[in-house]
Amino acid sequence: MNIYRYLAAALLGMAANVSIAQTPKGNVLIKNATVLTVTQGTLENTDVLVQDGTIKKIGTNLSAGKDMESIDASGMFLMPGIIDAHSHLALDVVNEATAPITAEVKMSDVINPFDVGIYRALAGGTTVAHGLHGSANAIGGESIVMKFRYGTSDPADIVMKEAPRTIKFALGENPTRVHGRGKNIQPRTRMGVEAVIRNGFNEALQYQKSWKEYNENKGKKNSTLTPPQFNLRLETLSDILNGELIIHCHSYRADEIYMLINVCKDFGVDKLVFTHVNEGFKVAPELAEYTMGASVFSDWWAYKFEVYYSTAYNAAILMANNVVTSINSDSDELIRHLYHEAGKTQRYGGLTDDQALSLITINPAKQLGIDEFVGSIEEGKQADLVLFNTHPLSVYAVPQMTFVDGVKYFDIKNDDDDQRLKVSPSELVEPVYLHAEHERCMHGVELFMEEGQLFNHAF
């Protein structure tokens, strides 16, 4: 993977966005904490000074600026804000399950900043989440990286503007069931999924060519070329071919993982992350060599046939093979305690503290292309921080305060019973969906299916 090209793209992306309104940035001094930097070891009795949303200084005996809140964190543990590489939280719609490729849809269009799940995630130390399209389609929509700036009514405020574009792909049972069995169209098999993706890329190449030709001749004297049709789906696919998007691919089996690696190789696409990846341990060297990593569950499997061959050692094996590995939630509930999920890798695989913490901080940041901004406690990085009562990998760990850009959005001492941002003027009791969090990945799909009962499983 060409990191420099990618960094350049990220920087260019930033430059294009300077005109966008400012989100809140805070100033705070956290004193005498045990600082788990993740990338630069653990620092005892250390102060972290945050100015204008950025970590200004890490050291001892730092003093707070004027009017700056100073927090005595003696006996407490400070870690980087937790990053979830796979979530469907705070999205009004998850699946546009009507076509095998829907690369034209954008999750940024359906962000719901009023979702109380944002606050719950903050209460579990999660500050950044990757909001993905569901797994109904071989190629789903463009995803969105969100910073949980709770309290805003403007969806644009919780978008992490520095993050590069990402897109959801999905292999295996979900797309074949929805489209093949559900609607009798391609893909009906794993071979069909590959064909759908290859056809999509090939169409995008032709599309690029026709527009290039048109644009080069536009305005030239005597040109008889007329504008080609505009196709947002192929626009996005050709942007993938141009390296402007990172693919995050829902996958379980080793054969299909290797299949997509080959497809991407054939089309010169190198920004690729696999998510779920339950059989990733079988192709760990290939994942290490060719991809930006794997985002796995800690110990969740057997909820459908393609997810039986699994192990809780997956993360540890991948890490041992130098795969950039993260642990994700794919759930509005698990997102509230990803530190427990990371801790399981110490029981299954004996990862060190820093390795385990990297699964939910710097590694997902790398997979989302935002590791220069977040994912560790380093001077110059954005001040997304969580203060724990004890070491976050302890089963007794409880987040005490959560900061995004130096602004405190959660404080356990200041935690109201009712943190909803929006209340219905006429519903006396708002409906609560007990199982909603377990069906996010296929959320909304049953609406389109006659055999709806087939979809009562997770992910």
Partner 1 sequence: MIRRLTAVFCLLSVISLYRTSDSYAQSDPSGQRRVTDLYAITNAQIVTSPGSDAFTGTILIKNGLISAVGKNVTIPKGAQVIKGDSLFIYPGFIDMGSQSGVKKPEEVKHPENLDPSNPPNEIAGISPESSVLDYWKAHEETMEWRKSGFTMVQLLPQGQMLPGNTALVILGDQSSNNIIRENTGLYAQFETHRGLYPGTTLGIMAKFRELYKNAELQSTHESQYGSDQDGIRRPELDHSLSAFYPVINKESPIIFRTEQALEIRRAIKLQEELGFGLTLFNVKETADLDAILKESSANLILSLDLPEDKAFKQDMEGATEEAKTSHKRVEEAYKKALSQAGQLEKADIKFAFTTYGVKKQEVLKNIQKMIENGLSTDAALEALTSTPARMLNIDKYSGSIASGKMANLVISDAPIFSKDAFIHYVMADGYLYEFDADKSKNGVKDADKIAGKWSYTSETPGGESQGEIRFEKKGENLTGEIDVDNPNGGGTITRELENISFDGKNLSFSFSIQVQGEELTVNTKGLVEGDKFDGSISIRDMGTYSLKAEKRPSTTF
* Nearest distance from C-beta of residue 200 to partner 1, angstroms: 12
Query: Is residue 452 a contact point for partner 1 (CB under 8 A)?
Result: no
Query: Is residue 222 a contact point for partner 1 (CB under 8 A)?
Result: yes
Q: Pick one of 229, 396, 431, 432: the residue that binds partner 1 (CB under 8 A).
A: 229
Contact 248, 275 (CB under 8 A): yes
Spatial CB neighbours of 23, under 8 Å, sequence gap ≥ 6:
147, 149, 152, 157, 405
- Per-residue contact flags (x/-) with partner 1 for residues 154 to 193, judged by CB under 8 A: xx-----------------------x---x-x--------
Segment contacting partner 1 by CB under 8 A, of 24-32, 34-42, 291-299, 444-452: 444-452
Q: What whole-number distance in Å separates Cα of residue 241 and Cα of residue 371?
A: 23
Q: What whole-number distance in Å separates Cα of residue 57 and Cα of residue 399?
A: 23
Is the four-CA dihedral 434, 435, 440, 443 of positive or negative sign? Answer: negative
Segment contacting partner 1 by CB under 8 A, of 6-14, 105-113, 259-267, 293-301: 105-113
Packing angle of the helix pair 232-241, 190-217 (nearest 10 deg)? 100
Residues 107-146 touching partner 1, rule: CB under 8 A, are 107, 109-110, 112, 114, 133, 141
Q: Give 66 or 220: the residue with its C-beta nearer to partner 1.
A: 220
Residue type, position 66, single letter: K
- Look at residues 433, 364, 367, 448 and name the one whose alpha carbon lies nearest to residue 174: 448
Q: Give 4 or 230: the residue with its C-beta nearer to partner 1.
A: 230
Query: Is residue 16 a contact point for partner 1 (CB under 8 A)?
Result: no
Token reading at 119: 């606050």
Segment contacting partner 1 by CB under 8 A, of 34-42, 290-298, 390-398, 421-429: 421-429
Query: Is residue 208 a contact point for partner 1 (CB under 8 A)?
Result: no
> What order of strands is seen across the sheet that includes strand 165-170?
139-142, 165-170, 245-251, 272-276, 294-296, 325-327
Q: Pick one of 15, 18, 395, 428: the residue that binds partner 1 (CB under 8 A).
A: 428
Query: Is residue 458 a contact point for partner 1 (CB under 8 A)?
Result: no
Query: Is residue 285 a contact point for partner 1 (CB under 8 A)?
Result: no
For residue 220, give the 3-state DSSP assignment.
Answer: coil
Site residues for partner 1 per CB under 8 A: 92-93, 95-100, 102, 104-107, 109-110, 112, 114, 133, 141, 153-155, 179, 183, 185, 222-224, 226-233, 417-418, 420, 422-428, 444, 447-448
